[in-house]
Chains A and B, each alone.
Chain A
């Protein structure tokens, strides 16, 4: 009896409330990594988005711990069919999700847009999340390798803080001078272990090389560009005695004022600014050795991919992706994190911000060099990253620094052995 009554009451209540919500609301579930970095960004964007898009409700799952966790979870959820509608993944994981058909291609959505280019979604931005000519994701937060200088050490070594070197020769000779200043001070540290081969890719790409040939059948990093890349790393060891320490230790040492030049991702600009305070002056500068028209740099950071199953959800998810990676989303992200926005129009909202934070501007100046962070094809794609890291280690710890070219040949051979045979 009671149940019947309450049922009727519920039906009545529904009948009264339904007309109020004239538009059916589509809920889009989103999951992103690094909650401590991005939480503020996403919460702010949800508020802004709700004002202009009443038909779509964005909600979040608990953030992924890091990119590894993000990929593991999305792959597991793909098996059980419980993926969120939009997932944020590391830019080098696009391939794994595209190959396993976890993420939907976005080309049809992009074609349907009328003034996509004019909204700041330039070609390099679309390329960063594409595999085999199809766009699977749009980058949200992007980082590039840059140089951080400790100006106090630069001055002490007789360098000019107003004209920091941009060529490898210039940077290495300055670093060698800093190295000799006093014990415990390192001239230069390059965070080569970061994500396995990201910095190596940067060195290959800046010399105009590629990781694989155009057909993705053969390793291509063992050519002249690759030899220059590994040669540069070897020079750091022989000419500047770069320390053989982990990336983490490099960053702590830099923040402690013991490193003259640090080469790593832009993502740390905010963290360093906070940690250093006024103990010394830090200045960011272009990644050394860039040549206009030839060099490219791999984009780190994360990308938004649509993993919703139904066409209706995908359509709503596309609106979310467009807003987040568009000018407004990009501007909000830059203001709340240390990353930069890939969208060309985001900077329109950020003129003041970059004036106040010139160290953030370096990455933006490198935007024309942006290309995608290469992921190797096939089932062993991530294993290859590890193989490359081990070979580079033997150059960086001094064991085989003198035989850098042989290491490169072996690295290419071992990589080739792990690539799909039939391809």
Chain B
């Protein structure tokens, strides 16, 4: 959230245009030095190390390694597991972003009018965001258990045959996405609630007076356009968070069955820490960071464009 504020804030700052005196320049360098060195130490240096590793055949614990050029990237391009992983991550992100944004908005609209019950519901919906996902994944595992799980038992009441949700390649990724939506929509709901509270009631009243009698008309005319910046932010944040899915995969499916739920971060983990192919895992990490960077740049670009057009 702070990120968006910072980037929009920085672009609208008027430049002073004055030339600074030398000692002021030194002072300014001194002032940015702590932050700059921290960034260098905690972000740039590890990234550079990962980038360097991705050009080697280093294995965890190995005494020596050699430079292999782009061999890891060439192997990645021809690795069906990697492409499966990319595809799965994209599918997962698409479902979760749509689902959690839609559900978040829907619930926020329904909770719009504040009353005591609203407060209760808001807390209830926000709970999954605050809980530890690994602990809740285990609860989900019990609910989805093929023989004594709650979900199959409930479906059985309607005569539906039991499904082995997590072991079936056709359902596993979908189930994980549903858990992802369940976990994320509360966060989006809070963002939308904040966005909604910033829309003055007078605009709705004016629209109603002008003939927008139906709630849907007022939503289309007033709420939705004014929520656009919040929506954009929600979509981008949800996308980034969905790309980072790992806990549920690790706890529930380990990427299986047969790579049906293999996602990027899990592939990276498995290659680096289960198969000890550290160089290869570093190459996946580089690809992942690039994808995240592109997403962030896209967000900044779109956000700036909106501000300038206003």
Is the CB–CB distance between B277 and A380 below 8 Å? yes
CB distance from A75 to the nearest CB of B (A): 3
Asked if B223 lies at the interface with its beta carbon under 8 angstroms from chain A, I say: no
Residues on A with beta carbons closer than 8 Å to the beta carbon of B275: 380, 382-383, 386
Asked if B59 lies at the interface with its beta carbon under 8 angstroms from chain A, I say: yes
Size category, A interface: 20 to 34
The residues in A between 230 and 262 inclusive whose CB is less than 8 angstroms from any CB of B are 243-246, 249, 252-253, 256, 258
Contact pick for B63, options A72, A101, A249, CB 8 Å: A101
The residues in B between 220 and 263 inclusive whose CB is less than 8 angstroms from any CB of A are 256-259
Is the CB–CB distance between B59 and A79 below 8 Å? no
Asked if A111 lies at the interface with its beta carbon under 8 angstroms from chain B, I say: no
Mask of A242-284 contacts with B, CB within 8 angstroms, 1/0: 0111100100110010100000000000000000000000000
Is the CB–CB distance between A390 and B259 below 8 Å? yes
Is the CB–CB distance between B147 and A253 below 8 Å? yes
Contact pick for B145, options A74, A249, A386, CB 8 Å: A249
Asked if A166 lies at the interface with its beta carbon under 8 angstroms from chain B, I say: no
Contact pick for A75, options B148, B258, B270, B276, CB 8 Å: B276
Is the CB–CB distance between B257 and A74 below 8 Å? no
Chain A binding surface SS class: helix
Instruction: Check A245/B167 contact, CB under 8 A, given A382-B274, A382-B276, A393-B258.
Output: yes
Asked if A394 lies at the interface with its beta carbon under 8 angstroms from chain B, I say: yes
Residues on A with beta carbons closer than 8 Å to the beta carbon of B61: 74-76, 78-79, 96, 100, 102
Asked if A379 lies at the interface with its beta carbon under 8 angstroms from chain B, I say: yes
Mask of A380-417 contacts with B, CB within 8 angstroms, 1/0: 10110010001001100100000000000000000000
Residues on B with beta carbons closer than 8 Å to the beta carbon of A252: 145, 147
Residues on B with beta carbons closer than 8 Å to the beta carbon of A379: 57, 59, 276-277
Residues on B with beta carbons closer than 8 Å to the beta carbon of A397: 167, 169, 257-258
Chain B binding surface SS class: loop
Asked if B60 lies at the interface with its beta carbon under 8 angstroms from chain A, I say: yes
Asked if A184 lies at the interface with its beta carbon under 8 angstroms from chain B, I say: yes
Asked if A117 lies at the interface with its beta carbon under 8 angstroms from chain B, I say: no
Residues on A with beta carbons closer than 8 Å to the beta carbon of B146: 243, 245, 249
Roughly how many angstroms separate A71 CA and B276 CA in the complex, as a whole number? 10
Number of residue pairs spanning A and B whose beta carbons lie under 8 angstroms apart: 69
CB distance from B15 to the nearest CB of A (A): 49
Asked if A68 lies at the interface with its beta carbon under 8 angstroms from chain B, I say: yes
Contact pick for B273, options A72, A249, A383, A390, CB 8 Å: A72
Asked if B164 lies at the interface with its beta carbon under 8 angstroms from chain A, I say: yes
Roughly how many angstroms separate A245 CA and B146 CA in the complex, as a whole number? 8
Nearest CB in chain B to that of A74: its residue: B61
Is the CB–CB distance between B62 and A100 below 8 Å? yes
Residues on B with beta carbons closer than 8 Å to the beta carbon of A246: 166-167
Contact pick for B60, options A72, A184, A244, CB 8 Å: A72
CB distance from B211 to the nearest CB of A (A): 59
Roughly how many angstroms separate A394 CA and B259 CA in the complex, as a whole number? 11
Is the CB–CB distance between B147 and A393 below 8 Å? no
Residues on A with beta carbons closer than 8 Å to the beta carbon of B59: 100, 379
CB distance from B112 to the nearest CB of A (A): 44
Residues on A with beta carbons closer than 8 Å to the beta carbon of B63: 100-101
Nearest CB in chain B to that of A184: its residue: B147
Is the CB–CB distance between A393 and B276 below 8 Å? no
Residues on A with beta carbons closer than 8 Å to the beta carbon of B145: 249, 252
Instruction: Check A76/B60 contact, CB under 8 A, given A96-B276, A249-B146, A380-B275.
Output: yes
Residues on B with beta carbons closer than 8 Å to the beta carbon of A256: 147-148
Is the CB–CB distance between A393 and B256 below 8 Å? yes
Roughly how many angstroms separate A393 CA and B257 CA in the complex, as a whole number? 7
Residues on A with beta carbons closer than 8 Å to the beta carbon of B256: 390, 393
Residues on B with beta carbons closer than 8 Å to the beta carbon of A393: 256-258
Residues on A with beta carbons closer than 8 Å to the beta carbon of B270: 386
Residues on B with beta carbons closer than 8 Å to the beta carbon of A71: 276
Residues on A with beta carbons closer than 8 Å to the beta carbon of B274: 68, 382, 386
Mask of B264-279 contacts with A, CB within 8 angstroms, 1/0: 0000001101111100
The residues in A between 50 and 78 inclusive whose CB is less than 8 angstroms from any CB of B are 68, 71-72, 74-76, 78
Is the CB–CB distance between B60 and A394 below 8 Å? no
Roughly how many angstroms separate A120 CA and B167 CA in the complex, as a whole number? 44
Nearest CB in chain B to that of A393: its residue: B258
CB distance from A222 to the nearest CB of B (A): 20
CB distance from B182 to the nearest CB of A (A): 22
Is the CB–CB distance between A394 and B258 below 8 Å? yes
Nearest CB in chain A to that of B272: its residue: A72
Is the CB–CB distance between A75 and B164 below 8 Å? no
Roughly how many angstroms separate A382 CA and B275 CA in the complex, as a whole number? 5
Roughly how many angstroms separate A393 CA and B260 CA in the complex, as a whole number? 12
The residues in A between 353 and 401 inclusive whose CB is less than 8 angstroms from any CB of B are 379-380, 382-383, 386, 390, 393-394, 397
Nearest CB in chain A to that of B59: its residue: A379
Nearest CB in chain B to that of A394: its residue: B258
Instruction: Check A258/B147 contact, CB under 8 A, given A75-B276, A244-B164.
Output: yes
Nearest CB in chain B to that of A381: its residue: B275
Nearest CB in chain A to that of B162: its residue: A184
Residues on B with beta carbons closer than 8 Å to the beta carbon of A253: 147
CB distance from B68 to the nearest CB of A (A): 11
CB distance from A21 to the nearest CB of B (A): 37
Roughly how many angstroms separate A243 CA and B145 CA in the complex, as a whole number? 13
Is the CB–CB distance between A390 and B258 below 8 Å? yes
In the A-B complex, the 10 residue pairs with the smallest Cβ-Cβ separation, listed nearest first, are A75-B61, A383-B275, A382-B275, A75-B60, A393-B258, A78-B61, A100-B61, A390-B258, A393-B257, A245-B167
B residues within 8 Å of A by Cβ? 57, 59-63, 145-148, 164, 166-169, 256-259, 270-271, 273-277
* 18 further A-B pairs in the complex, CB-CB below 8 A; given A75-B60, A102-B61, A397-B257: A76-B61, A78-B61, A96-B61, A100-B63, A101-B63, A184-B147, A244-B257, A245-B167, A256-B147, A379-B276, A379-B277, A380-B277, A382-B274, A383-B277, A390-B256, A393-B258, A394-B258, A397-B258
Q: List 15 A-B contacts (CB under 8 A).
A: A72-B60, A75-B60, A96-B61, A244-B257, A245-B164, A246-B166, A252-B147, A258-B147, A379-B57, A379-B277, A383-B271, A383-B277, A390-B256, A397-B167, A397-B258
